[in-house]
């Protein structure tokens, strides 16, 4: 049994990119693995400055995850800030990280290019992420292609720490499915809350239908074959098995297909498939005490593991000075 670990940021409504990129895989992993999963609200501080919004997003993300199938009794599920040991661990790791490593972070450069403020939290984001993983002994880390570099940086940090102070941290392995592409948003870019191009998992039927109908398409006429390198085709394929994808490709190649009809069909497919999750989500929203109790249990379990690795790191670095002989 492997320890599988990953987290998700509560920077807004969770969307199909979150579900197909990480959440569905994490939910499958809990069946045969030691699953550690958490809501990374410390990370969200790099973009959210409204305390009420962050608090609301955090609890909503937790309820969304449970509604979609994460079982807090079969896994360790918690809120990042409920295990503050991760902050001390981040400082310890910061002292062995070269500035050059952080300067090479493409995610940081991309966010600055899109107008985000260049604060220290955003710059040191990879160190906090490394702490999230190493402090809990994560062996396998499911991440999207866009997080591949951050996971590589985590491995570099763990190796450097172990070489400097002795074997303390597990070197994590990434789980990046080779067949998994970045989930496109309605505009064709990567689906992202910050890009405003997402399709939420939960919400009103009217608003979500509007998002599906807003998926961009080309100007191909009704009697022309349609391009499969488009967000409409790629999003539809996420819901289909291999045979279904081949059938969809044949339909796109056959004249007479109307994009509007495909969008309506895709919405209905989505709406029906996620119906059981919507029912459970509504139940959880009316029983928040249950959710809070499960998150508390999860933070206690996670904190116990964090203490083990943090104690080892403190001892290895010489912070337990009273236990050394002079």
Provide the residue ranges of all domains of the chain, joining segments of one domain with +.
Answer: 3-182+288-323, 203-273
Residue in the structure block whose two tokens are 């029906």: 272
Per-residue pLDDT of the chain (326 residues; tens, 9 = 90+): 899 999 999 988 899 998 988 889 899 999 999 999 999 999 999 889 999 999 999 999 999 999 999 999 999 999 999 999 999 999 999 999 999 888 888 877 877 887 777 788 888 999 999 999 999 999 999 877 777 888 899 999 999 999 999 999 999 998 876 545 678 999 999 898 878 899 999 999 999 999 999 999 999 999 999 999 999 999 999 999 999 999 999 999 999 999 999 999 999 999 999 999 999 999 999 999 999 999 999 999 999 999 999 999 999 999 988 765 44
Q: Which CATH architecture has domain 203-273?
A: Orthogonal Bundle (1.10)
Q: Look at the chain and count its residues.
A: 326
- Taking alpha carbons only, the member of 278, 272, 275, 181 closest to residue 235 is 181
Catalogue the active-site residues.
111, 190, 193
CA distance 180 to 43: 25
The CATH class of the 3-182+288-323 domain is alpha beta
- Taking alpha carbons only, the member of 123, 184, 121, 174 closest to residue 152 is 174
Tell me if the pTM is above 0.75: yes
CA distance 46 to 57: 14
Element (H, E) at 91: helix 85-94
CA distance 153 to 101: 8
Is there a common fold for 3-182+288-323 and 203-273? no
Q: What are phi and psi of 125, to 5 degrees?
A: -45, -45
DSSP state of 23: I
């Amino acid at each position: 049994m492997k320890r599988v670990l990953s987290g998700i940021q509560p920077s807004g409504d969770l969307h199909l990119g979150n579900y197909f990129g990480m959440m569905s895989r994490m939910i499958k992993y809990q069946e045969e693995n030691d699953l550690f999963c958490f809501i990374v609200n410390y990370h969200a501080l790099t973009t959210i400055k409204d305390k009420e919004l962050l608090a609301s997003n955090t609890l909503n993300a937790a309820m969304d995850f449970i509604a979609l199938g994460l079982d807090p009794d079969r896994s360790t599920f918690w809120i990042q800030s409920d295990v503050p040991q991760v902050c001390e661990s981040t400082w310890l790791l910061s002292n062995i990280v070269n500035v050059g490593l952080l300067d090479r972070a493409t995610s940081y450069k991309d966010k600055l290019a899109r107008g985000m403020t260049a604060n220290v939290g955003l710059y040191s984001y990879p160190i906090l992420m490394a702490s999230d993983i190493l402090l809990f002994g994560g062996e396998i880390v499911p991440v999207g292609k866009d997080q591949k570099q951050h996971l590589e940086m985590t491995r570099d940090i763990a190796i450097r720490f172990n070489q400097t102070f002795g074997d303390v941290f597990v070197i994590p392995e990434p789980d990046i499915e080779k067949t998994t592409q970045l989930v496109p948003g309605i505009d064709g870019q990567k689906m992202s809350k910050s890009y405003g191009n997402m399709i939420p998992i939960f919400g009103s039927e009217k608003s979500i239908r509007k998002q599906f109908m807003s998926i961009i398409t080309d100007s191909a006429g009704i009697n022309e074959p349609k391009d499969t390198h488009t967000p409409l085709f790629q999003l539809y394929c996420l819901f289909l098995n291999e045979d279904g994808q081949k059938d969809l490709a044949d339909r796109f190649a056959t004249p007479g297909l109307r994009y509007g009809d495909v969008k309506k069909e895709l919405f209905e497919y989505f709406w029906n498939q996620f119906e059981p999750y919507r029912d459970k989500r509504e139940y959880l929203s009316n029983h928040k005490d249950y959710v809070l109790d499960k998150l508390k249990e999860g933070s206690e379990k996670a904190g116990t593991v964090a203490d083990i690795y943090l104690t080892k790191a403190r001892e290895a670095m010489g912070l337990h000075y009273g236990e050394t002989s002079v």
